[in-house]
């Protein structure tokens, strides 16, 4: 059973996502890269640049890691030649450098030795959501829609469902995905990478 509707994304999420209630400086992608290169941050610290904000990824619990492994294996088995799966690795957009849980990228792995994949090289992004659900539905969905990522999945562990976001608005005052479909436990969802369909997945295969 699925539920379909427009996926709107809010414009001001500071309170929801824990950002300061007062103006602070945002950073460009280039500034963020220079800080990384200058070892401003500890090497072991995982960070994401989200619309200019330097943020820490949400806490991961054991079910999150199990779902990440299950979803990764299910998708990897269906990938055609020329596509590969990246796990918790950075991508680069115009104003952000998030680290989605899974990204299906076209191009050889060694093509990204000097840079991270960009939106035109990404067929699908997946976020596994437990504590991160609000951020994944709002801030992450907004920046992925702005970048034109064609398909974005949120695997909601609490609801045991998969949210599929399609038809991104691209750059807009309030970017959003025109289509959001929710697939419940036991439903089947098409794996579509760009204009290429690679069969169906049972949502139950992805859940811990």
Two tokens at 170?
Answer: 């691209």
Residue 150 scores a pLDDT above 70: yes
Q: Identify the pLDDT of residue 8.
A: 45
How high is the pLDDT of residue 19? 59
Per-residue CA distances from 190 to 10, 147, 162, 200 (Å): 28, 22, 12, 4
The domain spans of the chain are: 2-10+59-206
In this prediction, residue 164 carries a pLDDT of 98
Assigned CATH for 2-10+59-206 = 3.90.1570.10
pTM score, whole prediction: 0.86
What are the tens digits of pLDDT across the range 42-80? 877 788 888 888 888 777 789 999 999 999 999 999 999
Structure tokens at 124: 């699908």
Q: How confident is the model at residue 144 (pLDDT cuts 50, 70, 90)?
A: very high
Nearest to 127 by CA among 83, 68, 181: 68
Give CA torsion, residues 135, 168, 151, 81, to 10 deg. -130
Max mean pLDDT range (39-43, 134-138, 144-148): 144-148
């Amino acid at each position: 059973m699925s539920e379909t509707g427009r996926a709107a994304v809010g414009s001001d999420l500071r309170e929801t996502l824990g950002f300061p209630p007062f103006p602070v400086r945002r950073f460009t992608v280039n500034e963020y890269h220079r800080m990384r290169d200058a070892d401003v941050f500890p090497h072991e610290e995982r960070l994401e640049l989200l619309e200019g904000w330097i943020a820490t990824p949400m806490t991961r619990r054991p079910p999150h890691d199990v779902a990440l492994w299950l979803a990764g294996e299910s998708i990897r088995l269906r990938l055609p030649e020329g596509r590969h799966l990246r796990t918790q690795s950075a991508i680069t957009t115009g104003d952000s450098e998030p680290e989605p849980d899974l990204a299906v990228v076209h191009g050889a792995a060694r093509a990204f030795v000097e840079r991270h994949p960009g939106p035109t090289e990404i067929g699908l992004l997946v976020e596994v959501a437990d504590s991160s659900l609000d951020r994944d539905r709002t801030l992450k969905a907004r920046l992925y829609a702005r970048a034109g990522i064609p398909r974005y999945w949120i695997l909601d562990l609490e609801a045991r469902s998969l949210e599929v976001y399609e038809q991104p608005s691209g750059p807009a005052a309030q970017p959003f995905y025109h289509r959001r479909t929710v697939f419940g436990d036991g439903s089947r969802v098409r794996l579509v990478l760009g204009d290429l369909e690679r069969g169906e997945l049972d949502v139950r295969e992805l859940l811990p």
